[in-house]
Chains A and B, each alone.
Chain A
């Protein structure tokens, strides 16, 4: 019973981590322009992240080390510095985009420009990290994230042709806008397979003091939680395809088009639900990304860290998230378009994947860390597949950004 409760909490939590401004924006854009055709990218991304999250959790539960610890310790500082710098940069952009997402939701709700909301949002997030505990952040905020289920409800109420949805889950070649199609596929994959997600998950396992008895729980949370998150993304895509596409909105290049999505289904409440979903999903993700920056630096240099400690007991750690949050709010406060930033940072995330995924192959097969719980054939095949995918994405994402980006 206790395990069941833990699993359901974990599932809810991972939904909060999965669904953020990136997955919402990329799914909405893809649905509007290509109908159901890009559902396969969400499915593929979700399968990949399930494997990576399961491994990150298993690594932490067995070795009591996080993935960032592992990369530094196993490969040395001169190798670690590359994923460190890449992830710090990508996370910074993603954090900025998440703050932008909350700020835009606030603009929808109040009519006051998003630029004025960036700093207050950063301050609120900082206050929660400064005063709150890991449990509060993890469970409280992600519970609220359940509101995003409204996209799944909306998708079902729109009565899509389920056969066509299933066809979309199989990769196919585009009939128009070829460069844009592949750029969106890359952005969706970048939004689903985010390094912050699996790195945060391994830090969370340490914060929650997991040990080997959690291996089953970990597997269930990774599988169910990520599938759940992927389902909501597919819901966003279906709604965008049926509502935006049908109203002739093919190009989602202005965030003001987005709240229209739920209005045909829920009326005025659709607007409220959309604003609440956007605000909560992005705020939850902003908390996680900011914490992940601090985890990464503290773990990489071996400092004391922990969200449950008082800031005065881990001053280095708390200063990292403080600086990150306020610096990340600056581009939004200066008026950088959050939607453009989101799409750009998702493609960049995809490009950075090899640096963070290659270490999994070594860490999860190193008996000094994971002992008898090392990867089996299936997990190793999955990592090798994600690595190959990561290299392809890294090579194609920048050219596609130029030719297919908006």
Chain B
């Protein structure tokens, strides 16, 4: 398995097969004398912006902090030991409703989309 080819940017689904995002970055742990180990994947605009360069990363983090509070100023992390299946999609053993990943979609539903008749 190659991390960049088989993990990065792949579709992430939860155990109900709900699409929760793409693998926006990979977190690895450096260990003295041993090869690095993958500990988590990250999702969200901040992780994505980091890949475009330090400046976009700063702006996005600032924007996220302003919009949704300090605790949202970091990307969402999913621990690698939750991984259940790696195929074309990557399935994690979690329920997206119990995470903060969809917080912005919930906010939209409550404050914008849900208020329009017929939603």
Contacts and interface: CB of A to CB of B under 8 A. Distances in A.
Given A72-B22, A73-B11, A312 B88 contact: no
Given A77-B9, A130-B118, A302 B22 contact: yes
A339 to B, nearest CB: 33
Contact of B19 (A75, A305, A310, A319): A305
Contacts of B46: none
A134 interface: no
Given A73-B9, A73-B10, A311 B19 contact: no
A138 interface: no
A256 interface: no
Given A311-B113, A311-B119, A368-B88, A316 B105 contact: yes
Interface in A99-140: 130-131
B28 to A, nearest CB: 17
B48 interface: yes
A369 interface: yes
A65 interface: yes
A306 to B, nearest CB: 10
Contacts of A63: 88
A369 B116 contact: no
Nearest to A311: B119
Nearest to B109: A315
B118 A131 contact: yes
A78 B12 contact: no
A77 B116 contact: no
A81 B52 contact: yes
A360 to B, nearest CB: 17
Interface in B7-33: 8-12, 18-22, 24
A130 B51 contact: no
Nearest to A71: B9
Contacts of B67: none
Contacts of A73: 9-11, 22, 88
A318 B113 contact: yes
Among B8, B12, B19, B112, the one with the most A-chain Cβ atoms within 10 Å of its Cβ is B19
A312 B109 contact: yes
B105 A310 contact: no
B113 A301 contact: no
Among A72, A75, A304, the one with the most B-chain Cβ atoms within 10 Å of its Cβ is A304
A314 to B, nearest CB: 8
Contact of A304 (B18, B108, B119): B18
A77 B48 contact: yes
Contacts of A302: 11-12, 19-22, 43
Interface in B70-119: 88, 104-105, 108-109, 112-114, 116, 118-119
Contacts of A65: 11, 88
Given A69-B11, A319-B113, A77 B24 contact: yes
Contacts of B52: 78, 81
A406 B52 CA distance: 39
Contacts of A311: 113, 116, 118-119
Given A312-B109, A368-B88, A301 B21 contact: yes
Given A130-B118, A310-B119, A319 B112 contact: yes
Contacts of A76: 4, 8-9
Contacts of B105: 303, 315-316
Interface in A122-168: 130-131
Given A63-B88, A368-B88, A369-B88, A78 B51 contact: yes
Contacts of B21: 301-303
Interface string A175-194: 00000000000000000000
Interface in A214-257: none
29 contacts: A72-B22, A73-B11, A74-B9, A75-B9, A76-B4, A76-B8, A76-B9, A77-B24, A77-B48, A80-B9, A81-B52, A130-B116, A130-B118, A130-B119, A301-B21, A302-B12, A302-B21, A304-B18, A311-B113, A311-B119, A312-B109, A312-B113, A315-B105, A315-B108, A315-B114, A316-B108, A318-B113, A319-B108, A368-B88
Which 9 A-B pairs give the minimum distances between C-beta atoms? Answer: A302-B22, A315-B108, A302-B21, A315-B113, A311-B119, A315-B109, A312-B119, A304-B19, A76-B9
Given A301-B21, A312-B114, 20 more contacts: A63-B88, A65-B11, A72-B9, A73-B88, A76-B4, A76-B9, A77-B22, A78-B52, A80-B9, A81-B52, A131-B118, A302-B19, A310-B119, A311-B118, A311-B119, A312-B109, A315-B108, A315-B114, A316-B104, A319-B108
